[in-house]
Amino acid sequence: MVKLTEWRGKEIFRRYGIPLPRGRVVRSAEEALAGTETGDIPLPCVIKAQVLAGGRGKGGAVRFASTSAEAAEASRAILGLEFKGERVKELLLEEKLPIARELYVAITLDRAARVPILMVSAQGGVEVETVPDAELLRLPIHPFAGLTGFEKRRAIRALGLAGPQAKSLDGLLDRLWRAFQHEDAELVEVNPLAVVGDGVVALDAKVSIEDDATFRHPEYADIRDDRTPLEEVAREKGIAFVQLEGNIGVIANGAGLTMATLDVLQQFGGRPGVFLDLGGTDDPAKVTEAFLLMARAKPAAVFLNIFGGVTRCDTVARGLVDAIRQVPPAEKFPLIARIRGNNEEEGIAILRSAGITSLHELEESAKAAVAAAGATV
Amino acid sequence: MVKLTEWRGKEIFRRYGIPLPRGRVVRSAEEALAGTETGDIPLPCVIKAQVLAGGRGKGGAVRFASTSAEAAEASRAILGLEFKGERVKELLLEEKLPIARELYVAITLDRAARVPILMVSAQGGVEVETVPDAELLRLPIHPFAGLTGFEKRRAIRALGLAGPQAKSLDGLLDRLWRAFQHEDAELVEVNPLAVVGDGVVALDAKVSIEDDATFRHPEYADIRDDRTPLEEVAREKGIAFVQLEGNIGVIANGAGLTMATLDVLQQFGGRPGVFLDLGGTDDPAKVTEAFLLMARAKPAAVFLNIFGGVTRCDTVARGLVDAIRQVPPAEKFPLIARIRGNNEEEGIAILRSAGITSLHELEESAKAAVAAAGATV
Amino acid sequence: MSVLVDGDTRVLVQGITGHQGTVHTVQMLKFGSKVVAGATPGKGGSTVEGVPVFDSVEEAVGKTGANATCIFVPAPFAKDALLEAVDAGIRLAVVVTEHIPFHDMLTMYHYARLKGARIIGPNCPGIAAPGKAKVGIIPNVVFRPGRVGVISRSGTLTYEIVSGIKEVGLGQSTCIGLGGDPVVGTSFVDALPLFEADAETDAIVLVGEIGGTAEEEAAEYIHHHVEKPVVAYIAGHSAPPGKRMGHAGAIIARGRGTAESKVAALEAAGAKVARFPYEIPGLVREMLGKPASP
Amino acid sequence: MSVLVDGDTRVLVQGITGHQGTVHTVQMLKFGSKVVAGATPGKGGSTVEGVPVFDSVEEAVGKTGANATCIFVPAPFAKDALLEAVDAGIRLAVVVTEHIPFHDMLTMYHYARLKGARIIGPNCPGIAAPGKAKVGIIPNVVFRPGRVGVISRSGTLTYEIVSGIKEVGLGQSTCIGLGGDPVVGTSFVDALPLFEADAETDAIVLVGEIGGTAEEEAAEYIHHHVEKPVVAYIAGHSAPPGKRMGHAGAIIARGRGTAESKVAALEAAGAKVARFPYEIPGLVREMLGKPASP
């Protein structure tokens, strides 16, 4: 999922003709000063940290300014802050509008119904999870019918809009649906959607694009504001890599097996750190790269748990043996290996020739990994 | 159906990125001279009369020119000609291309299957009705799937294209499909589609747009190159009006009843002239307008055959009586009326009060109309 | 059993507050149809001829149990109205509206099919089973309960023919006006099996027109699957060929679509083909083995 | 009777000439599947491991009677491959390809449904009935014919669990790997009735994961419709919550989607829930009333 910061989401909204406050993104207090002085950013204005995490208002990552000097000062204060783990590098400065009401509108996927779903609530501007079910209208959108007029009418009725405001929302819903479809979005969310005068304006924008669709949207492929440097390296090599708090490195293949491995490690008191999903591969070099990447994360011990299907056991064993030879002695760590499935015998034999024993049972292997990591802490 | 001349069809093709020969439309020999001299229209060029009828090549409505003087001369010769009932007012001058092969490609509606259908043939440039079934590939396009890759591959295989020519056709098919959908076309036809060098080029364009869709395509609403002046007036008043060769004017309501009326008239030796389908209306003024329009066509007799449903008999009777009062004595003609269906009694009474007898049976009415028309010839 | 509609049909009228909607609601009620609800966005809470009006079809269906709809809304909004009805669970939709772009109708047709709903129309007079229910606009006066089924592509011509059947002392089981648009929800081939299976229908009258190949397909179906006597009429055998545009239509038709082609196909399938509308009642009598009326 | 595949399954492999397509064609043949055709545009006329390759699915179906397909074609072309298969009359499609955009899968799913076809996957290991047929990529070594049905959202974890069932001396009737993508052609709720109805299945193993609400929906279905014993496992109860993005997902889930929610729902529905994969075989034995293996 390519998560976009507010201003990037709004760039998309702008392309689809969704009404937005005037303003722009700045990366320094000087830019904020200049932008407000030239009128590029109307005053009074709102200054918002461009981070992915929610709760910016309460968390001090949103401020207001009536003059250019105040805008510059507020910008200086927010830039560089760490907000829920993210460093603030960009701000969005926008005109402060006379808001009559705050609504909620989003389109996302309803997995169970296998259709996109439009959700609206008259209670916008708050955490929508807290809004009672009765206050939230969910409208399935059949992909073969698209967003229909009668669904829009239901949404408009639920929000209690009429006249030009209703017309404005009608247009916004069409545009939001087009953006959702044509940008291969997983989510387009406007919270709050403000009623201002005769129309509606998107005050915020949460847009995420489907990873798998970047082959037809190369413009999103490089936007990753939410990865650690090691995760970024892994992504470039096509390896799923997640950093947690613990000290046991886990290399497995497939999301389900990886999660089950973490479950079992934790059951025996282990603290999984980096985990790394090889996915399906039969390239030994990719296994080698994955292992060396793991080494860079300096785990206390590594548990390799592979069930060979597309990924054959001998491939993994070959890549692993190659990698171990490349790890400098000073950086070595205990390795517990369990390889099962396709070409199991060949894989076990290759490991044995390099002095590595492959264990058979998941339970015993997990216990061994926990013990090894504990011993080195 | 809004039928477009070649150059208007090509304007649409251009918007969708379909490859076309270079050139432009001209309306005088001077324009042809200037266009070829400036290189706007490359030489040698083809000069084609912009008429809707087919068979222009054989009919002398297509000429070639190697010099500007020749182009001007040929243009002068064709402009103003009458071609199958159409006056030539516009010419399309285009570069003459080195054609390797001529293919046929079209998308239209398959009424029976209720899907659009792509049709291709390796035998282009000829009257495609004459091509044997085996030489013509028909590919249904499901509206929910759109034109798929596998259908395009089948088309490309059938036409025997490969490499860059196949790729060029693939792109053209996508664009043709988009044009068909987004312009609400009834037909997009390219015959011939020329293979030139590494690609394909649309040498001709036959496009017709659905009448009923002009509410979302107002740009087509005024393009009517195929109507008589009276037909044009009728259209403006929302009345279906067709001029034939005979002398009996027919006013009926509904296409089926109108056709059945013509059938019966002809059976008894009558020659239907203008026929006019009131459609569904309950506005007496529209009936009056229709009748006066009919009067302008100077029929020998008029047969009014109405079965009231949406259109009520009393409405028709009222409109009719009003119209008759407005026809000057010198332009009067015999009127045979038959009104049946909803509010029949009221209608008949209104006619009777104006001295008009409504007949009951279709057979006897038709015979009366034929007799009346014969008497005045 | 009649075809598609009966005494349990509960009719919703979409666009009931428009002129045609109101006029035909009155006519349907007079016919004996249970018109239980109307729907017009923004007019919820009002009534038309005693029929409650709702803002949405969903609400109308929920509150009144409507199970069929008659759509009068203007062409630009007809697609939306149909999708709304189908999504709300309606399984029989009569679309009276004319001038709906066929591109819209393609979506309507395939979406209705996906949801298991049947469309009659668009641009059609609808369906009526005398003594039971009418959904549509066929004039009440032309009907009389009886055992002749009528399927027609025409509007007013249907009235003419149905009326003719009544005048010779016969009556109709069910009459369906399919509509004459390029894409119709129910074609002859879809309607024929319903009449063939209907215990209340003894003979079928099929009213076609020139253009398209629906009558040729009907003939094919009759040949293989219809045992009941069929009387047919094709309007337009005197009509001049239209100005031609492109060759695609001709390729699809391949010589079919003319009156001659349709008449020949129907006769080959065992149907009696009338040359003129007024011959139909006599042919029906003949095929039913009944004497001429007094 | 096994579920969805049996000895009459005639498998087409789309993308057979690619590396994975070829590798798994060999494995399917070794399993005993009737792999009758391959399809790769432009490679018609060649063979892969003795299996004839065609340019189009239509041709492959016409010449070999293939009635199921296994799709290996790359993600950007997978939608087209599926539509081609469905249009050619294939009624069971296993989509192995991963990374298909869910927007594409929405079209694939609803189009297949329209045409009466079933998709398993995408991004899935496929289906196998030991001794009968395999369509997909589950390693042959993990299977042994038996009476335990397995339905799983995972890939390799399925192999682990199926293998565990074999190691305690039990076997499988049919195993379906549904795939873990946001939109899948066949969900737990779709697969459960097949196993409940299958005369060769005595117990059902359900392997879920955190995220989505498929397991909660399965629990609901089990509660009302499944009589056979169900053993379940949910992977990921130790996984940390991902970074949050917007609220829409949370609204849909409404507190469901966590391991706790899924386990509670399944237990309330009468399923036995294993805490770890290696507990599953023992619980199956227990529910079948069989003694522990020697």
Checking if the pLDDT of B225 tops 60, the result is no
Domains D10-120 and D138-287 share a fold: yes
At B315, the amino acid letter reads: T
Quickly count: other Cβ atoms within 10 Å of residue B295's Cβ.
19
What DSSP letter does each residue of C180-228 carry, written as one string? -SSS-SS-HHHHHHHHHH-TT-SEEEEEEESSSSHHHHHHHHHHHH--S
Spatial distance between the Cα atoms of A145 and A143, rounded to a whole number of angstroms: 6
Number of residues assigned to chain B: 377
Q: What is the reported pTM?
A: 0.92
Q: How far is CA D238 from the centre of its chain?
A: 25
Both tokens assigned to A82: 């760490």
Note whether B257 and B369 are same-domain residues: yes
* Residues A257 and A365 both lie in one domain: yes
Neighbouring chains of A at 3+ CB pairs under 8 Å are C, D
Within this chain, do residues B80 and B125 fall inside the same structural domain, yes or no?
no
Residues 6+ apart with CB under 8 A from A26: A32, A35, A75, A90, A91, A92, A93
Which backbone phi and psi does B249 adopt, to 5 degrees? -80, 135
Residues B36 and B134 in one domain: no
State the ipTM, two decimals: 0.90
pLDDT digits (tens, 9 = 90+) for D37-89: 999 999 999 999 999 999 999 999 999 999 999 999 999 999 999 999 999 99
State whether A87 and A114 are in the same domain. no
Of D99, D137, D250, the CB nearest to A310: D137
Task: Kindly report whether the peptide bond that precedes residue C122 is cis, defined as omega within 30 degrees of 0.
Answer: yes
Is A5 among the domain residues? no
B286-298 pLDDT, tens digit each:
889 888 888 888 8
DSSP E strands in chain A: the ranges are 2-4, 23-26, 45-49, 62-65, 82-83, 86-87, 91-95, 101-110, 115-121, 136-140, 185-196, 199-202, 206-209, 240-243, 248-252, 272-277, 301-308, 335-341
Contact C5, C92 (CB under 8 A): yes
**Which of C102, C109, C125 is nearest residue B309 as measured by Cβ atoms?**
C125
The average pLDDT across B63-68 equals 95
Within 8 A by CB and 6+ apart from D98, the residues are A279, A280, D75, D122, D123, D181
Question: Is C238 in the B-facing interface, judged by CB distances under 8 Å?
Answer: yes
Q: What is the pLDDT of residue A108?
A: 95
Q: In whole angstroms, give the CA distance from residue A296 to residue A298.
A: 5
Question: Is D247 one of the annotated active-site residues of the chain?
Answer: yes
Among residues B220, B245, B275, which one ends one of the domains?
A: B220
- What value, to the nearest 5°, has the Cα angle with vertex C52 and ends C51 and C53? 115
Adjacency order of strands within the sheet including D145-152: D133-136, D126-129, D172-177, D145-152, D203-209, D230-235, D272-274
Lowest mean pLDDT among B264-278, C275-289, D160-174: B264-278
Maximum alpha-carbon separation in chain B: 79
Residue D11 or residue B285, greater confidence: D11
What pLDDT is recorded for position C246? 47
**Strand order from edge to edge, sheet including B23-26:** B23-26, B91-95, B45-49, B62-65
Kindly state the average pLDDT of the residues A336-341: 92
Distance CA D19, CA D154 (A): 23
| B17, part of any domain | no
Q: Is the pLDDT of residue D294 over 80?
A: no
> What pLDDT score does B43 carry?
92
Tens-digit pLDDT profile for residues B172-186: 999 999 999 999 999
Which of B278, B328, B327, B326 has the alpha carbon at shortest distance from B304? B278
Same domain, B316 and B351: yes
**Quick check: D110 and C114 CB within 8 A?**
yes
Determine contact: D63 vs chain C, CB below 8 A: no
Percent of chain B residues topping a pLDDT of 90 = 63
Answer yes or no: do D83 and B148 touch at CB < 8 A: yes
Q: Is the predicted pLDDT of residue A227 greater than 70, yes or no?
A: no
- The answer, yes or no, to whether the previous bond of B44 is cis (omega within 30 of 0) is yes
Q: Is C199 on the interface with B (CB under 8 A)?
A: no
Asked if A238 and A356 sit in the same domain, the reply is yes
CB proximity under 8 Å: C 51-110 to A: 55-58, 77, 80-81, 83-84, 87, 107, 110
Q: What DSSP assignment string belongs to C23-64?
A: HHHHHHHHHT-EEEEEE-TT-TT-EETTEEEESSHHHHHHHH
Whole-angstrom distance, CA of residue B117 vs CA of residue C132:
41
CATH superfamily of D138-287: Succinyl-CoA synthetase domains (3.40.50.261)
- For residue A146, tell me if it sits in a domain: yes
B-chain residues near C152 (CB < 8 A)? 256
Mutate to test the interface with D, among B138, B142, B147, B150 (most CBs of D within 10 A): B150
- By 3-state DSSP, what share of chain B in percent is helix, strand and coil, each rounded to 5? 40, 25, 35
As to burial, measured by CB atoms within 10 angstroms (0-12 exposed, 13-18 middle, 19+ buried), residue A140 is middle
Tell me how far apart the alpha carbons of residues A10 and A16 are, in angstroms, rounded to a whole number: 10
Clarify whether residues A53 and A116 are in a common domain. Answer: no
How many separate domains does chain A show?
Answer: 3
DSSP states of A188-203 as a string? EEEEEEEEETTEEEE-
Indicate the length of chain C as a whole number. 294
Residues B233 and B369 in one domain: yes
> Domain for residue A153, yes or no?
yes
Which two structure tokens, joined as six digits, stand for D41? 């545009």
DSSP H helices, C38-155, are 57-64, 75-87, 102-114
User: C-chain residues within 8 Å CB-CB of A148?
Assistant: 80, 83-84, 87
Q: How far is CA C284 from the centre of its chain?
A: 20
Q: Are D136 and D96 in contact (CB under 8 A)?
A: yes
Chain D residue closest to C112 (CA)? D114
Residue A273: the pLDDT is 84
Higher pLDDT, B203 or B244: B203
What is the enclosing helix (H) or strand (E) of D259? helix D259-268
Range of the domain at A251: 229-375
How far does Cα A294 stand from its chain's mean position? 22
Confidence (pLDDT) at B280: 74
CA atoms within 13 A on the CB side of B5: 18
Q: Could you say which of A65, A95, A125 is where a domain stops?
A: A95
SS3 B190: strand
Are B259 and B163 members of one domain? no
With beta carbons less than 8 A apart as the criterion, state whether C161 and C233 touch: yes
Interhelix angle D259-268/D214-225, nearest 10 degrees: 0
Rounded to an integer, the average pLDDT of A180-186 is 96
Q: How many CB atoms lie within 10 A of CB C278?
A: 20
Say what percent of chain A tops pLDDT 90: 63
Interfacial residues of B (vs D; Cβ cutoff 8 Å): 142, 144-145, 148-150, 153-154, 157
Residues B234 and B124 in one domain: no
CATH architecture type of domain C10-120: 3-Layer(aba) Sandwich (3.40)
CA angle C2, C5, C9 (to 5 degrees): 135
Distance from CA of B140 to the nearest CA of D (A): 10
Q: Which residue type sits at B58? A: K
Q: Is the pLDDT of residue B228 over 50?
A: yes
Q: What is the DSSP string of D194-240?
A: HHHH-TT-SEEEEEEESSSSHHHHHHHHHHHH--S-EEEEEETTTPP
Cis preceding-peptide flag for A229 (omega within 30 of 0): no
Of B142, B145, B150, the CB nearest to D56: B150
pLDDT at D203: 97
Would the pLDDT of D281 be above 60? yes
Q: Is residue B360 part of a domain?
A: yes
Q: What is the CATH number of the domain that holds A163?
A: 3.30.470.20
* Contact residues for A304 (Cβ-Cβ < 8 A; gap 6+): A251, A252, A316, A320, A335, A336, A337, A338, A339
- Domain ranges within chain D, ordered by starting residue: 10-120, 138-287
Is residue D248's pLDDT more than 90? no
3-class secondary structure, D280: helix
Question: In order along chain C (294 residues), what is the average pLDDT of each group of 10 residues?
Answer: 91 96 96 97 95 98 98 97 98 96 97 96 96 95 95 92 93 95 96 97 95 93 97 86 48 70 96 95 90 53
pLDDT at B45: 96
Residues A174, A202: one domain? yes
pLDDT of residue D245: 39
pLDDT-wise least confident of A29-33, A119-123, B44-48, D248-252: D248-252
Residue C132 in tokens: 């039971």
Whether the ω angle into residue D122 lies within 30 degrees of 0, i.e. cis, is yes
A220, A252, A284 - which closes a domain: A220
Grouping H, G, I as helix, E, B as strand and the rest as coil, residue A41 is coil
* pLDDT exceeds 70 at position D169: yes
Mean pLDDT of B55-72: 91
| Tokens found for residue D151 | 């339905």
Look at A144 and C41 and tell me if their CB atoms are within 8 Å: no
B12 lies in a domain?
A: no
Amino acid at residue number D91: R
pLDDT band at A226 (very low <50, low <70, confident <90, very high): low
Read off the CATH number of the domain in which B48 is found: 3.30.1490.20
Exposed / middle / buried, residue D167 (Cβ in 10 Å: 0-12, 13-18, 19+): middle
